[in-house]
Structure 1
Amino acid sequence: MKRVLLPEKKYAGYIFDLDGTLVDSMPLHYKAWRLALEKAGAPYEAFLPEEFYSCGGKSARDVVLYICEKYGVVMDPDAVSEDKRATYLNLLEREGVTPIPETVDFVRSLGDGAPVAIATGSMMPGARMTLKSAGIEGLFPLVVTPEDVAHGKPAPDMFLLAAERLGASPGDCVVFEDAEPGIQAAAAAGMECVRVETPPEYLTRI
């Protein structure tokens, strides 16, 4: 399965989501979510694989709030999201992740000093460790996380901030995304978007 149709047009800024776009880390994130949610008392039917992927790119705190509202459960969004992050980092250290060749090779093809940035729903420690585990931390000197903005995806804040830090106007930027919240955020930011497809087998793999 070809996961991405690469653009031929040149842009002033190239902004990438991280998990599921540059790195095959979504199955590991899902495992961390299942463990954290079970510990917090969420019902098993909350956040099954398709729903998990539909929330890709959202901050962990926003995901917990979404689950609480949809399933009528009471959980501390800060405590659960922190537990999920810690669980993910432990899994990452033990199991590791791999880069997605199509997007990472494209970044390398842009050359040294290219106007590239990451805008991810992960917090900075997790983002940095994910990049390091995949062996691509040197490709992205600019990383924007939910800590940097008032609103995470699907709001456009992270993409707009990434463009600003790249010195590019939003209309001259392209976003690479695998999940609907990020695609919505790119549209809200006035940016073109390249979708990175999720292989169908991932829904059964996780």
Structure 2
Amino acid sequence: MNALLAGKSYSAFLFDMDGTLLSSIAAAERVWGEWARRHGLDVAAFLPTIHGVKARETIRRQNLPDIDLDLEVEWVTRGEMEDTDGILAIDGVMHFLNAIPEDRWAIVTSATRDLALKRLAAAGIHPPKTIVSGEDVVHGKPAPDCFLLGAERLGVAIDDCLVFEDAPAGIAAAEAAGADVMVITATHQHPLDTMHGTVPNYLSLRLDVTSDARLRIVPVQV
């Protein structure tokens, strides 16, 4: 955990979903891998680019000629909705989330709302009252819009929020929004070069709700 966060407290927490609250890498890469093969892409080079970004933006970046973008997004979305095999909660996440007052946290994801609810159910995570999904913003991560909207919906200032993220696009979005960031590395295959605090999962974190109802992270030894 980054020393810069030590002793700090917040009004609310904003959580990315995939790779942060749950691991859906296997399912997502099965669907996106098949999509990439259909279009003759280098699957190994392509798959690392899909995480944390809206499906529409991922497809648009490939600059494929003569495709119907809406149909391609629909194909990927349908595949992801159907494939939930192997989706698991990040270690310790449910205990950690259950300790947060329900009106003090939100999920901010690039996934559609339907897909987010499907994956949360598959992982056994009860959704919060506030979810910002890919449909809610025009500009997805790494633009800050989604985190700004999450803070707005919770009725708090973004600079009084701690964002939990795992992907570079999401980290960049949180930075651009002006929030502090905690990076969850449970699904990382390679070390991430970041100035932010990193933890492998939620087993090494404890939540302290202060007497004035502020949220503070306390690292614990596991």
Which category describes the TM-score, using the shorter chain as reference length?
0.7 to 0.9
Match of 2:87 in 1: 97
Q: Which runs of 5+ in 2 are unaligned?
A: 191-222
Task: Say which of 126, 133, 144 aligns to 1:137.
Answer: 126
1:189 equivalent to 2:177? Answer: yes
The structure in which a higher percent of residues are strand is: 2
- What is the Cα-based RMSD across aligned positions, in Å? 2.2
Classify 1:195/1:143 alpha carbon distance in 2 versus 1 (closer, same or farther; 3 Å): same
Alignment match of 1:65 (pick from 52, 60, 72): 60
Give 1:96 shift: 4.6
Deviation at residue 57 of structure 1 after TM alignment: 1.4
Secondary structure of the equivalent of 2:40? coil
The percentage of counterpart residues that share the same residue type is 33
1:83 matched to 2:72: no
Q: Which of 117, 127, 135 does residue 128 from structure 1 map onto? A: 117
Task: For residue 34 of structure 1, report the CA deviation from its aligned partner.
Answer: 1.3
1:146 aligns with 2:134: yes
Provide the residue aligned with 1:204 in structure 2.
none
Aligned length: 187
Which amino acid is the alignment partner of residue 57 of structure 1?
G
Gaps of 5+ in 1: 202-206
Per-residue CA deviation, residues 166-201 of structure 1 (Å, 9 max, x unaligned), is: 111010001111100000000010001111113428
> Counterpart of 1:116 in structure 2: which amino acid?
W
Give 1:52 deviation, angstroms. 3.0
Query: Alpha-carbon deviations, 1:113-154, whole Å to 9, x = none?
Result: 25110010100110010011111124x121101211121100
- In terms of fraction of residues, the more helix-rich structure is 1
CA distance in 2, matches of 1:14, 1:192: 10
Taking structure 1 as the reference length, the TM-score comes to 0.82
Q: What is the CA-CA distance between 1:54 and the residue it aligns to?
A: 4.0
Q: Is the 8 A contact 1:115 1:166 kept in 2?
A: yes
For the residue of structure 2 that corresponds to 1:176, the secondary structure is strand
Q: Give the equivalent residue in structure 1 for 2:29.
A: 30
Matched, 1:178 2:177: no
Checking the alignment, whether the CA contact within 8 Å between 1:54 and 1:179 is kept in structure 2 is no
Q: Match for 1:109 among 91, 94, 99?
A: 99
Comparing 184-193 with 113-122, greater Cα deviation is found at 113-122
Contact 2:103 2:129 (8 Å CA) reproduced: no
> Greater relative contact order (Cα 8 A, min sep 6): structure 1 or 2?
1
In the TM superposition, what is the alpha-carbon distance from 1:53 to its structure 2 partner? 3.4
The separation in 2 between residues aligned to 1:59 and 1:113, in whole angstroms, is 26
